[in-house]
Structure 1
Amino acid sequence: MPSLPQNDPDLQARQALLKQQQERYQFNFEYLAPLAMLDEVPKDENFSGAYLAERLTRAADLPVNMLAAKAHSLLDPLDRLEDYDDLFTLLPKPAIANTFQTDEVFAEQRLSGANPMAIRRLDPSNPPSAYLNIKQQLATKGKTLVERNLYYVDYSELSFIQGGTYAKGKKYLPTPFALFSWQSMGYRDHKTSDHGELLPIAIQIQQNNSGRVYTPRDAHLDWLFAKLCVQIADGNHHEMSSHLCRTHFVMEPIAVVTARQLAEDHPLYILLQPHFRFMLANNELGRKQLIQHGGPVDKLLAGTLAESLQVVKNSFESWSLDQFSFPTEVRNRGMDSPDLPHFPYRDDGQLVWDAIYKFVTDYLRLFYADSDALKNDEELQSWLKELRDPQGGRIKGVPEHIQALEPLVEMVTTIIFTCGPQHCAVNYTQYEYMALASNIPLAAYQDLTGLENGSETKPAITDEAHLMQYLPPYQQAAGQLQIMNILTDYRYDKLGYYDRTFKDAFAGSSFDTAVDAVVEQFKQNLRVVETEIDLDNRKRVIEYPYLKPSLILNSISI
């Protein structure tokens, strides 16, 4: 029966079982320091037979597609941008293939693409130095920036990456700064969303005071190249920071501490388990296959394996549980402003966040009737302590004590949102936006120095064949398609729909009917959210389905 420890009639047996859990779930602080990882995955955390069978079935089309792909010399550059489309023979070609060269779609990817966590609103009172350089260079060309409703992406945090190698040479990573403006309109038509659109203003592909600034007025291929440099940096930032670190790896120690400090009949343990299902096994699989020498991260991303893993470490150092609750994280980037009426990731995410927050509140109120119930829950307080502990989870932004329900609700909502909606927003977007290497290449394949410092009076990119020299050759592009398909071709379950394990935990207890009612209300609220998102998508230039509740998983199970 579910119970808080202070209400358990056999506390000694409960503590003995927790001690066994602590022996089974041990931390490894060496593998990817400073992150706390699970040392060895217990057998009952492994994938189920049904899960493995379903994943194999869903992956059946991939090898057939790759065998049928148009034959190219494996290591030589392709000839035309359209050649990347030919890799999709049986698998569906992403719709982005038809529009990615346009400024509107390039900018829209900052708001509803694979990595909507990179864009920030410009604060004119505290602008980045790269912006000041761009502003000065544009002024020399007679263009004055109106410092209102400006947004930017800044990849200078990746500037330490020198570049890895592939079979035929070296890989390179631009670290650009790109400036955007929200262009408001007084009317709505089929080409605009929410009375306006985001448009790019300028790009500097490497951040220094003398580097060339590209604008939409440049020659088409020069400007396209500058936008592709942003896409390369964004792809690397997405994979190692927004995706791998800030969903998979920041949630892993929380799952481990939950198993170590909360008894299996603790109501919070029961609630969180469906949202951790298969995550520990999935992360272990990623460590063995994705981020090993010769794995996809090593082969496809721009940096060396050590450099790419350093991005993970740096990203973890700047992450905290309190500052990365969904509303706070959006607000910290200035992206909550009503002056930006169109931001699908923010708008849909807030609807889902609110539904989860209400569910968690209603659920926890069943067990914590007052502050004394929280204060006297020794397992909860031990959970908080080990989450923070340098010899435990190493999670920043965790309160020392919880004596009121609201801080606990905020914490638990952040955990569930990160494991479900947040992970889906960065994972399932990968096929549409990243499987096609011409939209988001994961590395450059020629030195960028000459283009960065080249003359602005003549084209830096002479023709399409010249552009293709900087983009992934066939083998790299094919590998990119394969891994993006593998990471997105399967969904295990659905947010708010819990299996018998969850229901049986309450069966026959005094909480049985009450918990059922709370879960059912959660499902109904999610259906209302889905309807609202469907209505909003009718108004959008590009649909954003990735935070529709019917497509969100409970856990990081893929």
Structure 2
Amino acid sequence: MSVTYEVTVATGGSIQAGTIDKISVSLVGSLSNSDKFRIWTLFNLSPGSTKTMNIESEDNLGEILLVKLYKDARLLIPEDSWYCQYVTVKAPNNAVHNFPCYSWLVGESSLTVIEGKARRKCEYQYPILEEHWVNEIQSRQEAYQWSTFVPGIPRNIKAESASDLPKDAQFTLDRKLYLIFDLDSAFLDLGMNSLKDSQKMWNNLEEVQKSVDLSKVPVAAYVVKHWKEDTFFGYQYMNGSNPQLIKQCTHIPSKFPVTDEMVSSSLGPGTSLQEELQKGNIYIVDYEILHGIPANSILGKQQYLEAPMCLLYSNPENDLIPIAIQIRQEPGPQNPIFLPSDGKYDWCLAKIWVRHADAQIHQLLSHLLETHLFAEIFCVATLRKLPNAHPLFKLLMPHLKYTLHINTGARELLISDGGVIDKAFSTGGAGKVQILQRAMDQITYSYLCLPEDLASRGVERLPKYYYRDDALKIWFAINRFVENIVKIYYKDDATVLDDSEIQEWATEIFTEGFLARQSSGFPTMLQTRAELIKFLTMIIFTCSGRHAAVNTGQFDWGSWMPNNPSTMQKPAPSEKGKTGMFDIMCTLPGIQGTAIVVATIYLLSKTSPSATKLGTYVEERFTEAEPRACIETFQKDLQQITLEIEKRNESLELKYEYLLPDLIENSIAI
């Protein structure tokens, strides 16, 4: 007696997901396999469509374990790729089996999809599933291989260009329409087309202001108006586009010999530098990592780079203000400490040198290395070591989506020889690589774990630090979500330790990504549920909240060039009283460099129309009720965070919105 199975195949909704090629399906059960059946349709499988068919089998197939999909080209018609979203199989007893796919079939190919229940390797109960596991991992490791862009920085996916990536790792067409790195389109959007080839200097700040209309960008317009103010300068270290550098200063470094007399007018009467140090009100930003890095040459002209230090004071009004700046690391007569009491042009130029250093660290470290490149480590290791059915693969893939494509594009066009960094930044050329290598020698696991980083920097009580407040909310919401998921699949510490898949995954991240540097503190294995939860929280936060904090506001804070100079064209001053406005204009980037940087950060700050916000899981990889309930709880937590941030922002002149959950993407896809 024949048995009938009702099979539904769903095609993805993106523009190119459908196909005119011939699609067939077969079922693999615990007792037997079905024949291969063609999916017949009068038209092609169109985007967003579902097709239901009946598959007849002479015997009961038993538990449906796998679905096999086949794609064959039509005669004399070019191959047409197909994106399968999912397959469902309704058995004769009305039980419905779900098979999340979310993969492309390219050329004449086949794809085997495992039933959707999350499972670890030890839970593959049938030999056919064990064979499937071996084949899947082998196929993945052939498709996703490690490569080295330059020694001493995290390894990356092996791909010369985005077209070399497996199709599953590439943007779909609807994203490609808004793909970044098209500088010409940005020049046109910004009305800067006539500036992109100019090799002239700016004559005055009025020219800079007229070069691009920032009046309709509220934060950028605020920057233009307030960039010279000390309170605004300090505010940026807490809530600007690079809010992760400031540290509490417990003692004045010998290389930065600031005296009480120097800063007494900034501190006010009735106190001293030593008293404020003891109270925890003195903070420091030190760009020592830039010391000795060779400065770039742009259009044949030597540029300049220094490693400044800045001392800041959290005053009784709860404003953070700069009170001393030393532009070079070594103290001495030719390296004066600049003070707010100095001439206005001396002090202004000193602050510009600090902002210039910050622009380098922001782009190369806070943004590129600590979000994009680290996310790529997590992505490649996950694809190579965890199969589709693994609970951690299901958890992580939405947060790793499209990162390989965006990073491959960045290596081609931004950080390659002759790319944007080389064309417009003082750290271009050999400098950018050296900075990345130095940072990799210093990076630690604790630094990427937000609560530990904040504690180590001593900034838990710093007033008006909205990045800290909002980032912690996001971190702990992710942490609760991850904890709930982990506890479903790992009943105790032993089940974590015994999961060979995640142990190999953690080792691969440590070895290939963090270059097996023991001093980094990155785990080589995960022995407890608590360790696993922390590690997963760090990954998801890095790929979502951390990236949003340093990416989304780039145009807001950097489009006014004097606040974010990408290079310096004159040496730093070696004495006071010799600086005028003309000297500042000669030091700042020229017209072409300004246009390139403003266009680039304009593109990097844009949100794709197909962006997926944090906590939205378009790909429903979890099929069981328990993890789906965890997702709902996570979404409710994020909604509550949104309400709290919006309420706080009501009373602020300058709202901090970069960590509003609706503005955080699930993954690094821009």
TM-score (norm 1): 0.89
In 1, Cα distance between the equivalents of 2:196 and 2:167? 43
Q: Does structure 1 retain, via aligned residues, the 8 Å contact 2:262–2:339?
A: no
Name the counterpart of 1:8.
124
251, 254, 257: which is aligned to 2:381?
A: 257
519, 528, 538: which is aligned to 2:631?
A: 519
Does 1:97 find its partner at 2:224?
yes
Q: Residues 303-322 of structure 1: matches in 2 within 5 Å?
A: 303-322=427-446
In 1, Cα distance between the equivalents of 2:176 and 2:352? 37
In 2, Cα distance between the equivalents of 1:259 and 1:52? 23
Name the counterpart of 2:419.
295
341, 359, 364: which is aligned to 2:486?
A: 364
In 2, Cα distance between the equivalents of 1:360 and 1:279? 21
437, 447, 456: which is aligned to 1:332?
A: 456
Corresponding letter in the other structure for 1:485: Y
In 2, Cα distance between the equivalents of 1:445 and 1:54? 34
In 1, Cα distance between the equivalents of 2:225 and 2:377? 42
166, 176, 180: which is aligned to 2:308?
A: 176
Deviation at 1:554, TM superposition (A): 0.6
Gapped runs of 5+ residues in structure 1? 186-195
Residue-by-residue CA offset, 1:471-528 (whole Å, 9 max, x unaligned): 01111111111101111112421000011x2x1x333xxx2x2222111111110011
Name the counterpart of 1:27.
146
In 1, Cα distance between the equivalents of 2:166 and 2:353? 43
Residue-by-residue CA offset, 1:72-125 (whole Å, 9 max, x unaligned): 99222111123222222488451211111111111100110111111110022x
Deviation at 1:259, TM superposition (A): 0.9
Q: Does structure 1 retain, via aligned residues, the 8 Å contact 2:568–2:588?
A: yes
Does 1:115 find its partner at 2:232?
no
Q: Residues 68-147 of structure 1: matches in 2 within 5 Å?
A: 74-89=198-213, 92-93=216-217, 94-95=220-221, 96-124=223-251, 127-131=252-256, 133-135=257-259, 138=262, 144-145=272-273, 146-147=276-277
Q: Residues 199-210 of structure 1: matches in 2 within 5 Å?
A: 199-210=321-332
In 1, Cα distance between the equivalents of 2:389 and 2:602? 38
426 and 521 in structure 1: CA distance in 2 versus 1, 3 angstrom threshold: same
In 2, Cα distance between the equivalents of 1:465 and 1:168? 22
Name the counterpart of 2:358.
234
612, 615, 632: which is aligned to 1:496?
A: 615
In 1, Cα distance between the equivalents of 2:235 and 2:357? 16
Secondary structure, aligned partner of 2:133:
helix
Name the counterpart of 2:19.
none
294 and 142 in structure 1: CA distance in 2 versus 1, 3 angstrom threshold: closer
219, 225, 243: which is aligned to 2:343?
A: 219
Most deviating of 513-522 and 7-16? 7-16
266 and 224 in structure 1: CA distance in 2 versus 1, 3 angstrom threshold: same
541, 551, 557: which is aligned to 1:433?
A: 557
Name the counterpart of 1:384.
506
In 2, Cα distance between the equivalents of 1:446 and 1:59? 27
In 2, Cα distance between the equivalents of 1:165 and 1:59? 21
409 and 163 in structure 1: CA distance in 2 versus 1, 3 angstrom threshold: same
Name the Cα RMSD after superposition.
Answer: 2.5
Gapped runs of 5+ residues in structure 2? 1-115, 160-164
Most deviating of 379-388 and 270-279? 379-388
Corresponding letter in the other structure for 1:106: F
Corresponding letter in the other structure for 1:506: F
Q: Does structure 2 retain, via aligned residues, the 8 Å contact 1:231–1:441?
A: yes
Percentage of matched positions with identical amino acids: 27
Q: Does structure 2 retain, via aligned residues, the 8 Å contact 1:355–1:525?
A: yes
Corresponding letter in the other structure for 1:549: P
Q: Does structure 2 retain, via aligned residues, the 8 Å contact 1:254–1:393?
A: no
In 2, Cα distance between the equivalents of 1:102 and 1:388? 44
Secondary structure, aligned partner of 2:426:
coil
263 and 15 in structure 1: CA distance in 2 versus 1, 3 angstrom threshold: same
263 and 288 in structure 1: CA distance in 2 versus 1, 3 angstrom threshold: same
Does 1:352 find its partner at 2:474?
yes
601, 617, 620: which is aligned to 1:484?
A: 601
Greater helix percent: which structure? 1
Does 1:197 find its partner at 2:319?
yes
Does 1:166 find its partner at 2:295?
no
Secondary structure, aligned partner of 1:130:
coil
90 and 28 in structure 1: CA distance in 2 versus 1, 3 angstrom threshold: same
In 1, Cα distance between the equivalents of 2:355 and 2:301? 21
Residue-by-residue CA offset, 1:167-220 (whole Å, 9 max, x unaligned): 2611111211111000124xxxxxxxxxx1111111111122211111111111
Secondary structure, aligned partner of 1:179:
strand
Deviation at 1:222, TM superposition (A): 1.2
Residue-by-residue CA offset, 1:313-353 (whole Å, 9 max, x unaligned): 211222233442111111111112x2x23211111100111
Name the counterpart of 2:538.
414
Corresponding letter in the other structure for 2:469: D
Does 1:537 find its partner at 2:669?
no
Deviation at 1:237, TM superposition (A): 0.8
In 2, Cα distance between the equivalents of 1:439 and 1:205? 16
Corresponding letter in the other structure for 2:322: P
Residue-by-residue CA offset, 1:339-396 (whole Å, 9 max, x unaligned): x232111111001111110011111111112233223322112112222236996474
Number of equivalenced pairs: 529
Residue-by-residue CA offset, 1:223-279 (whole Å, 9 max, x unaligned): 111110100000001111111111111221221111111111101001100111010
Q: Does structure 1 retain, via aligned residues, the 8 Å contact 2:422–2:428?
A: yes
Name the counterpart of 2:283.
151
Higher relative contact order (CA 8 A, sep 6+): 1
142 and 398 in structure 1: CA distance in 2 versus 1, 3 angstrom threshold: closer
Most deviating of 90-99 and 306-315? 90-99
Corresponding letter in the other structure for 1:13: H
Greater strand percent: which structure? 2
In 2, Cα distance between the equivalents of 1:468 and 1:163? 19
346 and 33 in structure 1: CA distance in 2 versus 1, 3 angstrom threshold: same
8 and 142 in structure 1: CA distance in 2 versus 1, 3 angstrom threshold: closer
178 and 524 in structure 1: CA distance in 2 versus 1, 3 angstrom threshold: same
Does 1:62 find its partner at 2:150?
no
69 and 47 in structure 1: CA distance in 2 versus 1, 3 angstrom threshold: closer
Q: Does structure 1 retain, via aligned residues, the 8 Å contact 2:153–2:436?
A: no
557 and 305 in structure 1: CA distance in 2 versus 1, 3 angstrom threshold: same
291 and 30 in structure 1: CA distance in 2 versus 1, 3 angstrom threshold: closer
72 and 430 in structure 1: CA distance in 2 versus 1, 3 angstrom threshold: closer
Secondary structure, aligned partner of 2:489:
coil
TM-score (norm 2): 0.75
Does 1:555 find its partner at 2:667?
yes
Q: Does structure 2 retain, via aligned residues, the 8 Å contact 1:214–1:222?
A: yes
Q: Does structure 1 retain, via aligned residues, the 8 Å contact 2:312–2:324?
A: yes
Deviation at 1:39, TM superposition (A): 1.3
Corresponding letter in the other structure for 1:114: S
Q: Does structure 2 retain, via aligned residues, the 8 Å contact 1:134–1:204?
A: no
